């Protein structure tokens, strides 16, 4: 009986000390982590809508955000869209920039992903995947080219799939297409 009480006491003590330590550590690191995240979003906005000086958030949901981007004279350049969708293994967080008439995509960035390293994770590779996303025609939907085409053969609404990571490539395309549809609705409705 005595040993049983002691056993419960020790394990409880270990758990309490550990959670205390972790709670302290979480509180201590939280502001830094938040700051990193915010800085990352700000940087990504400037990246996907070139020339942005200030931005204003016009749609703020947990998994979907639209930032209106202005140049230094306050003229609207376009919109930066933050969106989250399902990838091969976990959620993929994407930011892309479109012009103010919503017919051209400037650029796309992958902010967070947990795809297979060495394969699906190549969706973050600037020379391999992201380069196809520059200046795309978005009056319709983006289409995934599989098998990959030569760069000159790609139409202005097509992007190449990554060989060995079709599912991750397809996920990015479908996340973007869903987000595009919403952006068009949101912006049309003011």
Write out the residues near another protein by the rule CB under 8 A.
Answer: 3, 6-7, 10-11, 14-15, 18, 21-22, 25-26, 29, 32-33, 36, 40, 90, 112-114, 117-119, 121, 163-164
CB of 168 to another protein, least distance (A): 13
State whether residue 124 is helix, strand or coil.
helix
Per DSSP, the three-state class of 144 is strand
| Min separation Cβ 55 and another protein, Å | 21
DSSP assignment, residue 8? H
- Compare residues 23 and 58 and give the one whose CB is closer to another protein: 23
Cβ distance to another protein smaller for residue 118 or 190: 118
How open is the CA angle 102-104-107, to the nearest 5 degrees?
A: 115
Closest contact distance (angstroms) between CB of 9 and another protein is 9
To another protein, the closest distance from the beta carbon of 53 in angstroms equals 24
Exposed (0-12), middle (13-18) or buried (19+): which is 159, by Cβ within 10 Å?
A: buried
State which residue, 10 or 57, has the beta carbon closest to another protein. Answer: 10
Q: Which residues touch 42 (CB under 8 Å, ≥6 apart)?
A: 55
Question: Minimum CB separation from another protein for residue 29, in Å?
Answer: 4
Q: Which is nearer to another protein, 162 or 173 (CB)?
A: 162
Q: Among residues 34, 35, 38, which one has the least CA distance to residue 65?
A: 38
Q: Which is nearer to another protein, 74 or 118 (CB)?
A: 118
Q: Are 138 and 102 in contact (CB under 8 A)?
A: yes
């Amino acid at each position: 009986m005595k040993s049983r009480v002691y056993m419960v006491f020790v394990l409880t003590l270990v758990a309490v000390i550990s959670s205390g330590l972790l709670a302290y550590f979480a509180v201590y690191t939280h502001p830094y982590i938040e700051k990193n995240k915010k800085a990352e979003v700000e940087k990504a906005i400037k990246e996907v809508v070139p020339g942005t000086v200030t931005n204003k958030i016009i749609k703020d949901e947990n998994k979907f955000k639209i930032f209106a981007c202005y140049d230094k004279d306050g003229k609207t350049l376009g919109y930066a869209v933050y969106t989250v969708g399902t990838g091969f293994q976990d959620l993929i967080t994407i930011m892309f920039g479109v012009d103010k008439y919503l017919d051209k995509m400037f650029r796309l960035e992958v902010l967070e992903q947990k795809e297979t390293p060495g394969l699906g994770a190549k969706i973050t590779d600037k020379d391999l995947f992201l380069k196809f996303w520059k200046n795309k025609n978005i009056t319709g939907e983006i289409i995934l080219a599989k098998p990959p085409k030569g760069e000159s053969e790609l139409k202005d609404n097509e992007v190449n799939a990554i060989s060995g990571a079709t599912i991750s490539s397809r996920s990015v395309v479908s996340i973007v297409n869903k987000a595009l549809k919403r952006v068009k609705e949101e912006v049309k409705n003011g």
